[in-house]
A and B are shown apart, each in its own frame.
Chain A
Amino acid sequence: MKIGNFLVVTLYILFLMLPIYWLLNMSFKPNSEILGGITFFPRNFTVQNYVTIFTDPSWYMGYVNSILYVAMNTVISLAVALPAAYAFSRYSFLGDKHLFFWLLTNRMAPPAVFALPFFQLYSSVGLFDTHIAVALAHCLFNVPLAVWILEGFMRGVPKEIDETAYIDGYSWPRFFVKIFMPLIASGIGVAAFFCFMFSWVELLLSRTLTTVDAKPIAATMTRTVSASGLDWGLLAAAGVLTIIPGALVVFFVRNYIAKGFALGRV
């Protein structure tokens, strides 16, 4: 590799890593050291911030809540998106292009527009402050995303496979589960990853729709503001813990990540 290229990439990654390093660094310091001045490595190394999070239910329940609604959302999104994506990739039907476009507009819709009506809709049906409410709300952008990604992958599977399976006497559901789904397993994995991720990083809707019982970790983090000022160490530790799920699974989808972000169109 040329030295210039190496320099550009290294500098860019350094720029990306510096703020994360600083957060990590802070999360291992007691507040006195954070406020006492700049230290590049924790002098008084402590895991107290993490201990606080893992022992206080009002903290760790935030993670549980987030994981619950994210998981629900991923399952719902994939369950409805799989047959729909198959239909879009295999058949032409009345209004298919308009429908596909309409789905896209929902992925692009600003959550801010939906915050207030969602609040009222879910309050009126008695789902306010439940996990399922957030999971359903996040379907707004995750279902279209899943349909688009899956359709992109399904188009790559030759149609002859479908026809051969019919000749062999497979019924459609059996063909879909036994033959088709294994063929697009990577696509399903990528779609699941992106549903998980976009639900995990979203805050505006999940915060609007919850108060106590289903409060996501992202909203819990605002709790660190107290009478004695901000608890920076705790805030940093909570932040670090929210980065971990994404960082753990990104390795598996590294080759498809561009496809996912481009809604299945690369």
Chain B
Amino acid sequence: MEKTRNNRAWFMVLPVVALVAFSAVLPLMTVVNYSVQDTFGNNVFFWAGTEWFTQVLESERMHDALWRQFLFSAVILAIEVPLGVAVALCMPKKGFWASVCLVLMALPLLIPWNVVGTIWQVFGRVDIGLLGWTLANLGVDYNYTQNPLDAWITVVVMDVWHWTSLVVLLAYAGLQSIPQAYYQAARIDQASRWKVFRYIELPKMKGVLLIAVLLRFMDSFMIYTEPFVVTGGGPGTATTFLSIDLVKMALGQFDLGPAAAFSLMYFLVILLLSWVFYTVMTNSDKAGKGA
């Protein structure tokens, strides 16, 4: 659509800017403030320069959390994206059953995140949970509160359970937009199922899949509530991801300086990712217009 040039449109945007500035810019400035100052209590602050930044950048704890975070995001993406696409390809195309599938699949997405944690905390317990009990009866030595690997598997399976449907929904929406004529042409050319997927469905889904990957990457990058409820970051620090570590530091130990420096760097990473996301989004908008 051709947009009219009109700077007075700013007046319509003003309420949003004011509100978000109050709830985002103001708090963020507090963080910036803390990140360059130190205190001995009593609200007396003095300049600390980049001390906190170097401290955080050099700390083992931060490196470990960051490394765990990247590993976690990589693992869940590697599982959720192929699984989501596969399920979307298998879904009924339209009609009553398509609606039923959509509603049932969306259900985990609408559950409060700490309840998701609670569900899996219970589900995985050996004494009262279906999953833990079944595994124990099959002779698997499974205990997510003691064994780091089991804790990891539980958190990953929980995330797959929670968010794969997002990929399914987006991929399904992408598939719906493919005109029937494409499939008919493929049938005339006697294309195999794989070739239909590779040369028709995948290119048409590219835009939504990129959005799905970026959304999942970013949301998994700031995951907090679910693993916190299930494992509390443990055993030890096995499932302490970036957000969990940050909250521990800021609200648990009240180490304001390092926590603030940590926050800012965390935020910069997210900013960079958002920029990639935005570019992809606006590019796929343009591509959509061309088609």
Contacts and interface: CB of A to CB of B under 8 A. Distances in A.
Contacts of A243: 107, 110-111, 115
B234 interface: no
Nearest to B225: A203
Interface residues of A, number: 96
Nearest to A86: B12
B23 A139 contact: yes
A12 B111 contact: no
Interface stretch (A13-21, A41-49, A51-59, A184-192): A13-21
Contact of A16 (B90, B108, B172): B108
Interface in B124-166: 127-131, 133, 161, 164-166
Interface magnitude class on chain B: 35 or more
B113 A257 contact: no
A13 B86 contact: no
Contact of A112 (B15, B16, B130, B224): B224
B6 A16 contact: no
Contacts of A117: 26-28, 30-31
A121 B1 contact: no
A8 B86 CA distance: 8
B3 A91 contact: yes
B166 to A, nearest CB: 5
B108 A120 contact: no
B251 interface: yes
Given A16-B165, A110-B266, A266-B208, A261 B16 contact: no
Contacts of B127: 35
A266 B174 contact: yes
B281 interface: yes
B268 to A, nearest CB: 11
Interface in B175-192: none
Given A143-B16, A243-B107, 5 more contacts: A19-B131, A76-B19, A93-B8, A221-B118, A232-B122
11 contacts: A1-B97, A5-B91, A16-B108, A90-B3, A103-B20, A108-B270, A121-B27, A201-B112, A218-B114, A261-B166, A262-B208
